[in-house]
Amino acid sequence: MTGLKGLATGVGSLPFLNVQSALELIFCFVPAAPFWPQLPKIDPRESMVTQFSENLPCLKTDKDGLRFVPADKEKSLELFYEKFIAGDLDYFKITPEFSRGIYAFHKKLESSDLSSVEFIKCQVTGPFTFCAGVNDQDGNAILHDEVIMQAMVHGLTMKALWQFDFFKKFGKKMIMFLDEPYLSAVGSAYTTVNHSDVIDVLSGIASNLKKQGCTIGVHCCGNTDWSMLTDAEGLDLINFDAFNFQERFVLYADNLNKFLKKGGIICWGIVPTNEFSPKHSPEILAERIKSGFDILVKKGIDRDLLLERLMISPACGLGTLEPQRAGEILELLSQTSLFIRKNL
């Protein structure tokens, strides 16, 4: 994938109570790489873990939220693997009750002139973040249950494959983000997940998804060991919070150089979310990216390669913000993309 030079897309979540309001902003401000909106303020079932939980083993959603139900664990796993082995994508679909946004987005694509759309961007919560967000009957994250964790890896992969199938009729290139904020905990005392665990799991998921010919990325809005992502086989894109963590990210110049040379893309989350201020401008944000480029160029990375493989996004999802603020962030993202394409 070449010639990106500042192409803009979004992370996923938006704070709107009206689906059409979300879609209007998406198609206005990121028309070349629009994404389907996750809308957790409309319904808690659209939160980043619950939204992808349907028909995954031992999970149940009710008025109390998402729960792990250990009863009939073996039976639940047996049904799950029967559907997984059969490749039953319909069983793993995201239903309208869990996502108004994905269906409204699909309908919008059907009724729109898609000549300006270069990519359709999708997302699924990554398995580490997903499994860290669900506790078992003893209050422990299911992340530490190897049997359940493996099933969730397979199930979330199927959720991503269902999305590819859902949007393939439009004939556009697709990008799938695995949203993995939990990776910022790897290497700390707060988790037993290690470097090799992450590489193995993400490489396995990417291997299965790449068969569809799609671009596979990982979004992490905290600081982490970025070599886990550059070294994972099959990952094409890294999306990081460039506003807060650029100085730490560029420390991995050698890893990033190898990643870029094998076709990798870096999506700089340059527009701040919680730190957003009217004082931020396209010029300031572009200069911040340029300062990162300068460091990486001094460490041996070709500047033209950095530009060619440059995408931008907000630093993180916008679902917890006020709607007006989310709109301002997406507008600034659009302006910054245009500025980069004209001036960098």
**148-167 b/e with 16+ CB inside 10 Å = b?**
bbebbbbbbbbbbbbbbebb
* pLDDT given for residue 11 in this prediction: 96
Pairwise pLDDT comparison (162 vs 213), residue with the higher score: 162
* Model pLDDT for residues 11-62, shown as the tens digit of each residue: 999 999 999 999 999 999 999 999 999 999 999 999 999 999 999 999 999 8
pLDDT level of residue 189 (50, 70, 90 thresholds): confident
- Helix ranges (DSSP H) in the chain: 19-29, 73-85, 100-110, 127-132, 146-167, 195-210, 227-231, 242-249, 253-261, 282-298, 303-308, 323-343
Q: What is the pLDDT of residue 38?
A: 98
- Which residue has 């001094």 as its token pair? 298
**Mean confidence (pLDDT) of the chain:** 96
In the predicted structure, residue 1 carries a pLDDT above the cut 80: no
Tell me the domain boundaries of the chain: 7-52+93-343
Q: For 156-181, what is the mean pLDDT? A: 98
Task: Say what the pLDDT of residue 2 is.
Answer: 61
Which residues have a Cβ under 8 Å from the Cβ of 18 and sit 6 or more positions away?
Answer: none
pLDDT band at 3 (very low <50, low <70, confident <90, very high): confident
Class of domain 7-52+93-343: alpha beta
Give this prediction's pTM. Answer: 0.96
CA 46 to CA 108: how far, in whole Å? 19
Task: Name the amino acid, one letter, at 208.
Answer: N
